[in-house]
């Protein structure tokens, strides 16, 4: 404490995480920025099922189908998000990229209590940013099935249950990469 009674000290360090916010079928998801390797437009990919970018192959991962959502369309905002972690690569097709956000770790809310089983390994929590909320997808789970033979989307056979009650489009403005 200083002579005037005010505390002297450094502000507490709050860890910051970066997420790419994407939309599939009016639902917003947050992907760890460390996982994202790039973005491609429909014109850049053509009609191939396995993308080759700088000599690296990226097989398709149908995130919308696995989450029980409508498949991303072919609109002007449609993008392919290249993902890679620990030598595993894939791409997901999204309806829209809302932007890259930096979020204090304290603004990542834990999953609600109704998430009790293995879905706790699928989602990292709810990401609050601006006036929006996105479901954070667990990076390790997202690509884990390719090497381990189970647990990730690349080997998932049943759609995963996910329904958010807020289907409003509150994210249409204000977020830029």
% of the chain surpassing 70 pLDDT: 73
Domains of the chain with bracketed CATH = 16-155 (2.40.50.180)
Residue 146 pLDDT greater than 70, yes or no: no
Look at residue 9 in the predicted model and tell me its pLDDT.
54
Q: What number of other Cβ atoms are within 10 A of residue 96's Cβ? A: 20
User: Tens digits of per-residue pLDDT, 37-70?
Assistant: 999 998 888 777 788 889 999 988 888 777 788 8
- Assess contact for 59 and 89: CB atoms under 8 A: yes
User: Tens digits of per-residue pLDDT, 4-23?
Assistant: 555 555 556 778 899 999 99
Look at residue 171 in the predicted model and tell me its pLDDT.
39
User: Where does the pLDDT of residue 30 fall: very low under 50, low under 70, confident under 90, or very high at 90 and above?
Assistant: very high
Which tokens sit at 34? 């460390």
% of the chain surpassing 90 pLDDT: 24
Average pLDDT, the chain: 75
- Assess contact for 21 and 129: CB atoms under 8 A: yes
Residues 134, 11, 127: CA angle, nearest 5 degrees: 5
């Amino acid at each position: 404490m200083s002579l005037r009674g005010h505390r002297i000290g450094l502000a507490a360090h709050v860890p910051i995480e970066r997420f790419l916010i994407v939309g599939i079928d009016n639902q917003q998801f947050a992907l760890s920025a460390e996982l994202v390797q790039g973005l491609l437009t429909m014109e850049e990919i053509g009609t191939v099922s396995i993308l080759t970018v700088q000599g690296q192959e990226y097989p398709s991962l149908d995130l919308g189908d696995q989450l029980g959502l409508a498949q991303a369309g072919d609109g002007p905002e449609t993008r392919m998000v290249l993902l890679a972690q620990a030598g595993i690569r894939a791409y997901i097709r999204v309806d829209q990229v809302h932007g890259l956000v930096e979020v204090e770790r304290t603004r990542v809310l834990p999953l609600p209590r109704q998430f009790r089983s293995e879905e706790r390994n699928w989602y990292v929590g709810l990401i609050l940013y601006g006036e929006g909320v996105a479901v954070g997808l667990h990076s390790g789970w997202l690509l884990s099935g390719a090497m381990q033979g189970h647990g990730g989307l690349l080997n998932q056979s049943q759609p995963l249950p996910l329904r958010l009650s807020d289907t409003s489009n509150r994210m249409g403005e204000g977020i830029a990469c």
